[in-house]
């Protein structure tokens, strides 16, 4: 898979030859797809560029859009597992040590 820049991608969308864009799978700001010659590409696109979809459809590019909302649970899980803020870590460490300063639990160092 060859990585191309956005300008090159847009130029190849309108191209009719073997290196013209045949398919585009859009996932957020990432696009992967296939040229007419069977080669594969990937690129990044601006997040808010509605004219892109019109141009792709106008040039008969087969477009697939991936629904990112299906992965909302991953974002929630990452937020849940994010590091504990520094002030809370200090309180937890203080409570988890005995009078000799030895930690009873080694979750945070």
Indicate whether this model's pTM tops 0.75: no
List, for residues 29-79, the tens digit of each pLDDT value.
899 999 999 999 999 999 888 889 899 999 999 999 887 666 556 655 555
| Segments forming the whole domain that contains residue 58 | 2-66
Question: Do 55 and 86 sit in the same domain of this protein?
Answer: no
Nearest-CA neighbor of 21 among 55, 65, 66, 68?
A: 55
Total structural domains in the chain?
Answer: 2
Question: Do 55 and 102 sit in the same domain of this protein?
Answer: no
Question: Do 61 and 15 sit in the same domain of this protein?
Answer: yes
Show Cβ contacts of residue 105 under 8 Å, excluding neighbours closer than 6 positions.
Answer: 96
Question: Do 9 and 52 sit in the same domain of this protein?
Answer: yes
Question: Do 38 and 52 sit in the same domain of this protein?
Answer: yes
Angle between helices 6-13 and 51-58 (to 10 degrees): 40
């Amino acid at each position: 898979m060859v990585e191309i820049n956005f300008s090159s991608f847009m130029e190849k969308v309108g191209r009719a030859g073997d290196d013209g864009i045949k398919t585009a799978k859009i996932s957020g700001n990432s696009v992967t797809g296939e040229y007419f010659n069977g080669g594969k590409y990937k690129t990044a696109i601006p997040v808010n560029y509605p004219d892109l979809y019109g141009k792709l459809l106008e040039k008969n590019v087969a477009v697939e859009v991936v629904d990112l909302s299906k992965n909302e649970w991953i974002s929630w899980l990452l937020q849940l597992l994010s590091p504990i803020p520094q002030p809370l870590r200090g309180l937890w460490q203080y409570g988890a040590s005995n009078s000799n300063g030895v930690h009873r639990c080694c979750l945070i160092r």
